[in-house]
Structure 1
């Protein structure tokens, strides 16, 4: 059984839970180590007691760097009861540094994998700080065996032209983990609102975008209750002056709390007609390049995705001729896009999404085995790099993991 030591930046992140479950479903033994930013019982993983390396704070880069440095000095002690792993994964740059340190502690030649699912804005700066961080990434990533990332645009816009890393990569999209349910068993049903009820737009997951919150509030006010905004997930409260107060004062918006992923996805997406697949958190940079979890979640359960023109998400939808594209990110254009919505227009948009191959949105047990097999292969031979020219083919491929 492949033993994976997995370093993560936030043990309370539901996406971390999903990745661990995926590795386990693929037949791997996972030792989880990382930092905690807050408490989230819904992110707990049955049978795994993580190695907690400390606490970090969201949006406080200096504090996180200090915590990483302290942890690196104590890492030998923290790992004293851990058996020698076959593969070490570092989830983002900070954890890559600890993965590199762990490899030296174990004194082996086990491969290190760099998992990078977001490009932090500091890495994209043209000043001394940005250069220093890219230098650190090149230093800690130089000996890595594989880069795992979730969007072709990350490779096209950052890793290939700017990072300086020369690594083979694996495109692992943020699809829904569906171990027990076969693709043929997921059959979304149209759900136009009953007479007099509002249309619902769901914004689910990591809620960190002030611009989206303000835009959706203004739009729903202008529509005078014809549209309701449903928020679920984990608000990044450091990004909002008063998230709870804002939502409380918004007449057509409600926050329904956290949820389990993937267990609760069917329930929460079947409660809405549209999925907000837009993020302006790092507008023009990471937010324009990512393919968010909610894109795949909503697609699987038939929620019509809303994207903004010029983003990787919009490109994804355009190639499949599905979803709705917002020309400009303001309330006027959102009113123009959705204001005349009726059952006929909704059903046409829903049917286009529902007609897509379910495998495009989900990861099944065979995919999990494929991932673990790919990681196991790193222990036997060096991987060959995938030519970036193959990205469009990878991007369109619907046959599971890339």
Structure 2
């Protein structure tokens, strides 16, 4: 059985739980270690996780770059002793740049010949800075990537616009999209929201990592202008540091409500079954990372027949255009959003929903066979491969 040491920047991130489940479903044994943004170490229970106990490297905070650097430096000094009781891994995965640094440290502690996999699912704005800070960050990434045998990333735009453009890494690349995990062999139950009757609103769901103040402001203004013909439901984890006062802002809006966190994938059918549209737009790092990513909510919403709304000029819009799906917003304004949605009726919506539901499940879903393909790819790492054509897992 392949032994994987998985180093993560936030044990509380639901995406970490999904990746661990994917690795285990593929036949790997996983040791999980990392920092956490929450007050306590999360418990990893469930049929796909089998009670994994993470190795806690300490607490870090959002937007606290200096504090995170200090935490990484401290962890590097103590990593040997923290990992002293675990089995020697066959592969070390570092999830984002700071954990790639620790992956190199762990590799040295275990003897210096273990393949490292760099999992990069976001391109931090500091890596794209044109000044001294950006040059230093990219230099650090190239340094820490010298032992990388494989790069895992979630969007082809990250490869085109960053890794190829800056020449950061020469390792082979696997495209691992943010698809919905369905590991039981039985597809998740699915239902679609009924069309609005007279006086009822169309509902837009904005689910997942809620970090975009510009999106919230636009949706607030739009729903007020539409006078109740549209409602927005928010679910997930708000990044409170990105909003002046998230709870106060939402409470003041008559047509927007926050419905709390949800379990992934257990609650996906229920929450997407309440909405007609999925807000697949993020201005958090506009023109950079937010324009390049393919978000979880794109795959989640489409898996359950919800029509996505994307921003023109983004990788999400490109993805949808290639498949003839969804709606694309021409400009980030109330006027443009009203022009896109105000004329929506039962017939036009049925056409949009039908296009989404006609896609094969492999477009949106990752299944056990895909997990096995990933683990087989990791098991085959030799440390001597040259850069090769982009490989897509869960294609």
TM-score normalised to structure 1 length: 0.94
Contact 2:11 2:41 in 1 (8 A): no
Give 3-state SS (helix, strand or coil) of 1:142's partner.
helix
1: distance between equivalents of 2:386 and 2:359?
32
Describe the shift of the 1:42–1:264 C-alpha distance in structure 2 as closer, same or farther (beyond 3 A).
farther
Contact 1:190 1:302 in 2 (8 A): no
> How many pairs are equivalent?
391
Describe the shift of the 1:96–1:41 C-alpha distance in structure 2 as closer, same or farther (beyond 3 A).
closer
Give 3-state SS (helix, strand or coil) of 1:340's partner.
coil
1: distance between equivalents of 2:216 and 2:314?
19
> Deviations along 1:5-42, whole A, 9 cap, x unmatched?
00000000000000000001111110000001015898
Contact 1:43 1:260 in 2 (8 A): no
Describe the shift of the 1:43–1:208 C-alpha distance in structure 2 as closer, same or farther (beyond 3 A).
farther
Find out whether 1:307 has 2:310 as its counterpart. yes
Q: What is the CA-CA distance between 1:110 and the residue it aligns to?
A: 1.1
Contact 1:11 1:43 in 2 (8 A): no
1: distance between equivalents of 2:58 and 2:346?
51
Gaps of 5+ in 2: none
Q: What is the CA-CA distance between 1:108 and the residue it aligns to?
A: 3.9
Q: What is the CA-CA distance between 1:163 and the residue it aligns to?
A: 4.3
Contact 1:42 1:259 in 2 (8 A): no
| Corresponding position of 1:90 | 94
Find out whether 1:169 has 2:173 as its counterpart. yes
Contact 1:12 1:39 in 2 (8 A): no
Give 3-state SS (helix, strand or coil) of 2:380's partner.
helix
2: distance between equivalents of 1:211 and 1:218?
11
Find out whether 1:33 has 2:33 as its counterpart. yes
| Corresponding position of 2:231 | 228
| Corresponding position of 2:328 | 325
Contact 1:204 1:233 in 2 (8 A): yes
* Worse overlay, 187-196 or 228-237: 187-196
> Deviations along 1:184-220, whole A, 9 cap, x unmatched?
x766546312442211100000000000000011000
Find out whether 1:55 has 2:48 as its counterpart. no
| Corresponding position of 1:397 | none
| Corresponding position of 1:178 | 182
Q: Structure 1 residue aligned with 2:133, among 129, 135, 147?
A: 129
| Corresponding position of 2:384 | 382
Give 3-state SS (helix, strand or coil) of 2:369's partner.
helix
Q: What is the CA-CA distance between 1:385 and the residue it aligns to?
A: 2.2
2: distance between equivalents of 1:233 and 1:284?
24
Q: Structure 1 residue aligned with 2:149, among 139, 142, 145?
A: 145
Alpha-carbon RMSD: 1.7
